[in-house]
Every structure is written in structure tokens, then in C-alpha cells.
Structure 1
Amino acid sequence: MSQAGSHGLDAGPVVSGFRLPPLSAYVHIPWCVRKCPYCDFNSHAAGPELPEDAYVEALLADLKADERHVHGRKLTSIFFGGGTPSLFSASALGHILEGLERQVGFEHDIEITLEANPGTFEQAKFADYRSLGINRLSIGVQSFQAEKLKALGRIHDGDEAVRAADMARKAGFDNFNLDLMHGLPQQSVADALADLEQAIALNPTHLSWYQLTMEPNTVFWSQPPELPEDDALWEIQEAGQARLAEAGFVQYETSAYARDGKRARHNLNYWTFGDFLGIGAGAHAKLSSPEGRILRTWKTRLPKDYLNPDKPFQAGERLLEADDLPFEFMMNALRLVEGVPSSLYEERTGQPLQSIAEACREARAKGLLADDNERLRPTERGQLFLNDLLQHFLA
């Protein structure tokens, strides 16, 4: 436990506008068939048998320990992430959902998303997932081209990716996201746009389209592949955004594009500084108290340690101080193309809007933050140079 958590330090004076935000839940399933060379998530290659029963039991015990953070709220969304959560059986996911509903409760229109990879698609299994109340899929396609998938270490091929979207619909999912990367090894502008055309043809309701980056502690970091030059990356970005807009996908976040009414509600809760429980190996959480204290927590990372009854689920926590809040809030809110209402800053941080007035003024003077009294939103320049914009809100 951090010093802040153990001594119960106050995060500073809370203004009367503070309100407990909506509550979501993130459930981490840490196993995948094979670790991809670009992946820096907490994922681990699965053995011959997954410890499903033991892990479900641990998840529900972990949730029980976090019940004190719920404060009477019901869940507005749940996200099963990984790893590859679709490696788990419908029965296992059903037990997790039953526990979440029993211990916390669901809003009537809850969004429940499951991450899945094309190589793990089985239509009967996914129909069972749908019958549990899972109502959204996020399918990790990344590319439809054989040489690109091989370079990324993916276990599926392009045909499987196409079939996965068809099977999702046949299983009863009318709301699904496709994850697609660009800036891949030796990728041309034509290659990137061909991937986008194929994705659009599958008629998803949402697309996550983002650039491959080299992250520390990955194979690609230590053995970097040959990536496109900056000029090609810029051309891909511009041409791709134009094509997505033409196809009816509205960009609402740095790498998120959606059809009308299909924005990812779970991710919107992150970006608007909502609260989320985090259960599972390595899961993170952001949790507010009625008094306005905001806590970030993280769970034990390695599955073997998380499943060890002699070790605690929680690995650490940090109470956000008043000086932390401008950056913490803005690094989420300013990912949104439309930003957020200015009033949300006080509601979610408990700090007066006036406390960031000077930082906002400086960011506006540099053309990074829009001159808009009603909303905190980046300009087009601010979207392109988001890190520069966020520097204004560091303590």
C-alpha cells in the first residue's frame, strides 16, 4: 500500500460541484495463444489447460474486496480484456457476470464488451456468449494481409478475420468493433487503405484504427522491424481519416471511429474521468469516494501470484493529490475530439475550474486548446500535438 493510501491523506479541498461519477468494471483475462512481438499488455501464453475455475474464483474474491468502492452505484459497462478473453468458456464468463450482477448490480442498458481474436472464433461459442448478455465484441484483426499478419506474429489469416465478422453477426452481435493497425512493417499507403477498405466492407459499428508503436519490454523494442517513413505515415493517416469519414465513421477520439450511436460507452467512461473497478491479474482501477478522494489501484501482475492465496490481490494504490488532478483529467478528456463540458472538470475532480485557468490560457495562446468557454477541447493542432498540450497541465 502506498503512503498516501496508508495515511489517508486528503486530496485537497473539494468544491460543492463534485459528484460520484458513473461506475464501470474491467475484467482482465491474462492468457493468449501466443504473445505478439508488439504487445506490451499483461498477457501470457496459455498452457495446455487454462485454470478457469480457479481464476473465476479469484476474480470474484477480488471483486468482493473492492465492494467498498461501489458506494451504491450500478455498473454502466463491463469490458473483458486481455490477453484473449474468448479463450474462456461461456460457462466461466457466465459465472463472472453473475458475480458482478449479484455483488454490484447492472444498469438496465449496460454495455458488456468481450475482446476476441479471429483465431479463437467458434460460432456456437459466441452465440452462447451473446445469450449471457454480452452485447458487444471487439475483434482484434490488425490486418487482413498475410505478410503483415506474419510480421505481427498473429495466429489468424485474412480469411479468418473476414469470417469472424460474419460469425459475430450470425451469433447475434449487431454491435462490434474491429481493431486495425497501420504503420506496419514495410506497409505502403495502398496496403493500409486496402486494409481499411476490407474493414469497412465488413460493416462494423465501430473501428479502432491506430498506428503501430514500439513499446518497451516487447520483442519489437529490442528487434525493431522496418517501419514506414514519417511522410508515408502522415499520408496514411490523412487518406485513412478521409476514407473513414466518407464511409460514415465519425472520429470521436484519437484512434476511435464510430457510426451513429455506437461510440464505445466503456471507453467514453475512461475518457470522461469516470470510475472503474479493475479485477484480474494486473488490472488497474480508478475509484472515487463520496468525499471526493480519488484513488488509483493496481492488482498483482503475474497470474501465478494472483492465484496464490498467500498473496494479496492488490499490489498498490495511489491517492491523487490536488496537483495531480489537472493532468490526470486532461490526459483522458483531451483524447476526445469534441472534448468535454467545462463543468465536468469540477464534477469529476472536486477542484474549481479556476485552478486550471492559467494553464488553459497558455494552451489557447499556443493554438492547442480551443477558445471555447463551454468546453475543454483540443484544436486540430492540439490533437496532432497532444503531448505538447498535456504538458501545460503537469504540476
Structure 2
Amino acid sequence: MNYLSQIAMRYPASGIRKMFDLAEQYDDVIKLTVGEPNFDTPANIKEAAKKAIDEGFTHYAPNAGLKELREAIANRYSKYSKDYTYENVMVTVGGMEAISLCLLATVNPGDEVIVPDPCFPNYFGQIMIFGAKPVSVPVYEENDFNIKAEDIEKAITPKTKAILLNSPSNPLGSVISKEEIVKIAKIAEKYDLLVYSDEVYDQIIFDNIKYFSMAQIPEVRDRVLIINSFSKSHAMTGWRVGYVVGSKNIISNMPKLQEGIVSCIPTFTQKAAIEALSGPQDSVRQMVKDYARRRDIVIDGLNNIPGISCKKSPGSFYAFPNIKSFGKSSQEFAEELVREAGVVAVPGSAFGSMGEGYLRIVFANSDENLKEAVRRIGEHVRKKY
């Protein structure tokens, strides 16, 4: 008898982890695969956690999160709406559980959720877990890797329940313009759709671009669920603290769902998150400056390699170079780079069919590693092609 569920058998394997595992077979490789800051968590945040442990914050917390943290998050989003209070906030185990709770609270089996293609591949699996269907909408390089409202509208059917947006984008590094967000908001209103707005990279933006969230539009605010976390902005990936901000009607139903999944988020990590929001932000600003410099090292370097072209990412810490001129699939080319150049990148096809012909390269790494990676890729391409 096969004891595995259909979900377990059908859940899509991670193309990112596949390359990570392949790299383990080789020595002296530069890994540009996992989307994680290469910085340590700022010292003041770590000290807040240590202090919380010493003070006995090691017991259960409320399912929805500590009120103090929820209030701090609501205060951060007062720039979107003065009406947000702690009751509009649900604390979660990272951004991943934030997405899961949004889906669990709002979709039914058979519902359709629109996602961009390419996109963060876990979106597909998470939507499928809850019996819904992910519907891909193509995102094109000629549109600066921005999803377009008219393409979303073409994908809407009577079964469509929600649109999942991710800006700044993983893997594309793109930032959806205010003009396009407004157009998508009108579509959401026209077809009575929810919008899950994955904003985990909203603090990693370059070139003085001003971030715009759909939740800033009063007419549609109650249909927008903001997903965010401390992982990327404050280099807290291992702390697993995220959150959802949205209408009280939806948020108020999440604590009982949390009770059945993880009960609550560790209390001392929530205390650390409070410090992350209320403490000095110098470390965050410095990280963004470093990412901007490293973006230029990678993308300017890639654009100097014959056959490779790469858009300058306005946000996140990802480059998405076009490698179509080499006549190889993105998987073949990525594996070739590991074997022959000692550089590990993720094939664009790991993020959806529209990612074919591209690579995702993470520039959250040291200047030295990034310069060496670009040098190795350039040497390989000039020698082989």
C-alpha cells in the first residue's frame, strides 16, 4: 500500500535546492543560489532576544502574537492607513506561514489563484496544498519583468478568488510601478478578488525608487492582505518571524487556524522582532547600500560578458540574466557553470516556464566572491562560446 498522500506526491520539488545539492559534489564553488542575506542579525536584535530569554519569555504566546509586536507592526503600516491597529495584524512563522495562513483562511478547494510566471516556486505548492489551483500569468522581460494588469485580466475565470503579487520580486528583482498597481487594483475591484501582496523585500530597493503597495489605495485596502517578514530586511531568516496585515474580518479568523498548526510563535523571537522595528535602523540602511554596490558588481559584470544581458534590478538581491543566446536550456547551462566554472546559479526554469532561458543569481554575497564569480562566468563563456 502507498501511504503517501496525493499532496505529498504532487508537491513540486525545489529547483533551488536541486542546484544547492549538486554544488555539494564539487570543491571551490561559489554558491549564488539561496536567497538569504549574507549578514549576521544586528547585535541589538540578538541582545533583545537574550534579554527576553533571561527574563523568562520562554512560554506560550497568544496565537495571534504578542500585542506589543502587533502594535509595532500596525504602527509601521500607519503610513498606509491610520486605521490599522493591532487587530489588523497576525504574527506568523516567517513569510512562508503568512502565505499559508492567507490561503487557509480564504480559499476553498477548486478556487483559482493568479500568480506571476516566473515567481517564487513555493507559491505553486502552497496553493495546491489547500486544494486551490495556481494560474500562471506570464511576465515579460520587455516589460522590465513587471506583471501587467491586462495579462492578469485575461487569466480571470469565474473560479478566480485571488491574485498573488510579489514586489520587489523573487526571482526577477523587479518592482511593480504605482501606475500598474493602480490598474491591478481596479481589476481586483471589478472582479471582487482578494490580493495577497508579498512585500518581504520592500525595504531592499535601490536608485531612490519609492515603494508603493496596493494597501495604500483606500478603495481596495480591505481586499489586500500584506505579507511580510523580518527575514530579508533585518537578516533574520533563521528567527522565523513574519506577519500578515489586512482586514479585521479575515485576520480575526487566523488565530484559531494558527492554534491548529504551530500554536504560537516563540515569545523571545517576537521580542527580538519588536527591537527590530523600534530600534535603530542603521544596520538595515547599511545592508541596502551594500546590496546596491553588489548588484552593480554582478549586473554590470554580466553585461560585459558576450551573449549575456541582464536588466538592472531595482529591488531585492536577485539578478535575472538572459542566457538564451547560448542555445542551452537554463538547467543545462546552470549545471555547466557548476561543473566547468565553479559557480552555482539557479536555472530560471525553476521559477516557471517563463523563466526558461534565464538564470537567477543571488548577489547577497561578499564583493570578492561576486567579482570572482563574474570573472569565472566570463572566462567560461569566452572559452566555450
Q: TM-score scaled by structure 2?
A: 0.28
Higher strand share: 1
Higher helix share: 2
Q: Which has the higher contact order (CA 8 A, sep 6+)?
A: 2
